[in-house]
Homo-oligomer: A and B are copies of this chain.
């Protein structure tokens, strides 16, 4: 008998029939002898409807505290309905809002972070044979105000709850049946991974793979929560997120991630003196613009330096605007930008103990005449920025170069 936390997103509870399906799945696990806690999001479209009400009412200028009061109702409706649907199948159920669990968070409304999960009441309900239904996405701060975790926060709720309950599994139900070596829409030969390490999943999430929210993976890694990514539409074993040393097939590269939602900005001919980078990135931070990759090279001839970085496409124009005057003031030669880029990354914990990955990656891209505009590496990933139009080609090329369509045992090692 396991304790299982199941998490269903908004699409999975988007209609009353789908809520019945989720109830049936939870009841099936319960009848199989498991102790079952279900975390759900708002019915799809509901959060958008609520946000639109707030926006239309306020013209975008509103108290985040009250925003949270309004949008938290989305999950509240879902948990009540799901509990009713479960009881309709003959199993006692009880719903919990964030403040009832309690999910204690900080007071940063609309993007609160979970500080503590007090789940004693949930354990008592499970002991009494109930299925427990918990609202994802929401919590309560020290003052008793309702908070929300921000978009995608339901994954984080589920993992935090699984950690607090010391659950055997945290099952995240999605519209895909697991984590793939890359997006199957780009590479039809992409393979589902049976297991993937927290670190790899973390890189993949932050590199733009949409399966799990980065924060939820960080939390799963921290508390070693066994997370399974499963399909809400069909049966299957999904993908298990696990610790590195439990990976059965120690492959070099696990997956190819990509992200076309970034834009590139270059400050050309910056005087090479202390404080210049601080000024550029301080300006962006003040404007709440997140920077992803940063590359700086010193020109041997001029003594000047070029700084290139990427930002989200949605913040590209604003970034150029806020940098214009400061960059001129510091005597830089030019400020250039390019929104038509994409980032492609190879990810794998095996890189830690294997060399030659970068070489194989660059060779593959070169073979297809794809020019590399930026390179950035971490311990377990190599990312390159290329022209956006080559993105699919690059992903396919790399997927083939690292033989990700083959079983790990059949691949050529460097």
Contacts and interface: CB of A to CB of B under 8 A. Distances in A.
A50 B77 contact: yes
Interface of A: 16, 19-20, 50, 53-54, 56-59, 61-63, 65-70, 72-73, 76-77, 79-81, 83-85, 87-88, 93-95, 97, 99-100, 144-146
Contact of A58 (B57, B62, B65, B85): B85
A59 B85 CA distance: 10
A106 to B, nearest CB: 18
Nearest to A85: B57
A88 B146 CA distance: 20
A26 B211 CA distance: 46
A84 B145 CA distance: 15
Contacts of A100: 144-145
Given A69-B83, A77-B50, A83-B69, A56 B88 contact: no
A81 B53 contact: yes
B81 A70 contact: yes
A93 B87 CA distance: 39
A20 B100 CA distance: 32
A93 B62 CA distance: 11
Chain A, interface SS category = helix
A19 B57 contact: yes
Given A57-B20, A69-B95, A62 B77 contact: no
Nearest to A71: B80
19 contacts: A16-B56, A53-B77, A54-B84, A57-B84, A58-B88, A61-B88, A65-B95, A66-B79, A66-B81, A66-B87, A66-B93, A68-B80, A69-B79, A70-B76, A70-B77, A72-B76, A73-B73, A73-B76, A76-B76
Contacts of A80: 54, 66-70
Contacts of A146: 97
Contacts of A70: 76-77, 80-81, 84
Contacts of A97: 69, 146
A76 B74 CA distance: 10
A402 to B, nearest CB: 48
Lowest 9 A-B CB distances belong to which pairs? A69-B80, A70-B80, A73-B73, A66-B83, A66-B80, A62-B84, A66-B84, A16-B57, A73-B76
Nearest to A95: B69
